[in-house]
Amino acid sequence: MSIRPFRDIKRRKTREIHVGKVKVGGDNPISVQSMTNTLTTDIKATIKQINEITEEGADIVRVSCPDESSSKALKEIIKNVNVPIVADIHFHYKRAIEAAESGASCLRINPGNIGNKNKIKEVIKAASDNNCSIRVGVNAGSLEKDILEKYKEPCPEALVESALRNIKILEDENFLNLKVSVKSSDVFLSIEAYRQLSKSTDYPLHLGITEAGGYIPGSIKSSIGLGTLLLDGIGDTIRISLSDNPVEEVKIGNEILKSLNLRERGVKIISCPSCARQGFKVIETVKILEKKLSHIKTPITLSVIGCVVNGPGEAAMTDVGITGGQNGNNMLYLSGVQSEKVLTKDMIEKVVSEVEKKVCELDDLK
């Protein structure tokens, strides 16, 4: 059971490409990405972090390859993870070739800063030979000198011109298995650049607000920027860039998609901010329930409301609901219908039990 969305988002139609086993673009679900912050040469630590990111719900993970030992370490890393790996490459064309040969599913490059045409051809051949896609990654902080001279500063038109120039480099070599990003740390610049780019190409778009900052400001900037574009139907894969644990990036990315009804994964909790009417400690209860239910991947809705003002109405639209009552007598709702009274001391255990039962029912119906 879930609330019928007030508005269905009509996504812009793009080409479909493959990033390993993940299809990006076309009618495929919007995928969530993150990036490791371990030393790639520390293979054990990198594998551990990739698996943590994947467990949180990432579909694709990017790994930086700044040197030969890093790009060659990918071979062992990829053997021990179950998610497509994107190799992040800057300037050194040999790192791109090594990464493709090591099993990377995608190369993140700017063809324009790889070097001369022969070097670019070698990278494209390595990608083609190893069934590896390419992301043309344009960033406001590293635009080509002639484009900066033309526009005087980073602007949407500059980012789009850079992206189209780099796309053409690949197209001229008949390489079409690509996606594109035009990132900036400025929300408005990013939004306008992606809007302009979406009118100029039908390649899948990788959305992101780069260098967004710490957990709270970065999450807010990313939510505004990506949310605006996603509401416009723009975007095929997303990455939240935070100065924080990459696991948090995946959480925020999934929550953005869930809030727009673009993705269903795990428990969607509807809860009140709490007030003097609350029959139990709502904030503390929600935090505990989030942890205890974090293992659930099946889409399910849970309402946690502290009083009877909005509680019954919210519970009527969720799979499981709990509403605060007087003297610690709280009302449990199942599939929108009152079920039984539950004492506050037993409430968390009861809610967890009922959510898990409901998940089993939903899984059996698949």
What pLDDT, in 10s, does the model give residues 158-208? 999 999 999 999 999 999 999 999 999 999 999 999 999 999 999 999 999
Calculated CA dihedral for residues 340, 341, 342, 343, nearest 10 degrees: -160
pLDDT tens for each residue of 32-44: 999 999 999 999 9
pLDDT tens for each residue of 319-343: 999 999 988 899 999 999 999 999 9
Task: For residue 201, tell me if it sits in a domain.
Answer: yes
Q: Distance between CA 249 and CA 237 in Å, rounded?
A: 13
Q: Which residue among 259, 285, 310 closes a domain? A: 259
Nearest CA to 64 among 73, 54, 56?
Answer: 73
Specify whether 74 is located in the same domain as 148.
Answer: yes
Specify whether 216 is located in the same domain as 294.
Answer: no
What distances in angstroms separate CA 260 from CA 109, 199, 231, 266, one per listed residue? Answer: 30, 22, 8, 15
Specify whether 59 is located in the same domain as 146.
Answer: yes
Q: Which residue among 216, 238, 259 closes a domain? A: 259
Q: Distance between CA 4 and CA 112 in Å, rounded?
A: 46
Task: For residue 349, tell me if it sits in a domain.
Answer: yes
Specify whether 310 is located in the same domain as 241.
Answer: no
Q: Which residues pair with 16 in a beta bridge?
A: 25
Q: Which residue among 239, 259, 279 closes a domain? A: 259
Specify whether 57 is located in the same domain as 162.
Answer: yes
In one-letter notation, the amino acid at residue 157 is E
Q: pLDDT grade, residue 91 (50/70/90)?
A: confident
Specify whether 164 is located in the same domain as 309.
Answer: no
Average of per-residue pLDDT across 110-138: 88
Task: For residue 11, tell me if it sits in a domain.
Answer: no
Q: What are phi and psi of 117, to 5 degrees?
A: -60, -35
* Residue 86, domain CATH: 3.20.20.20
Task: For residue 3, tell me if it sits in a domain.
Answer: no
Specify whether 52 is located in the same domain as 80.
Answer: yes
More confident residue, 7 or 338: 338
Q: Distance between CA 62 and CA 113 in Å, rounded?
A: 19
Query: What is this structure's pTM?
Result: 0.90
Specify whether 247 is located in the same domain as 275.
Answer: no
Q: Which residue is associated with the tokens 């390993």?
A: 20
Token pair in block for residue 237: 């894969």
Q: pLDDT grade, residue 1 (50/70/90)?
A: low
Q: pLDDT grade, residue 7 (50/70/90)?
A: low
Specify whether 182 is located in the same domain as 321.
Answer: no
Q: Which domain holds residue 225?
A: 16-259
pLDDT tens for each residue of 278-311: 999 999 999 999 999 998 999 999 999 999 888 8
Specify whether 275 is located in the same domain as 194.
Answer: no
| The total number of structural domains that make up the chain | 2
Task: For residue 93, tell me if it sits in a domain.
Answer: yes
Which of 86-100, 105-119, 158-172, 193-207 is the least confident region?
105-119
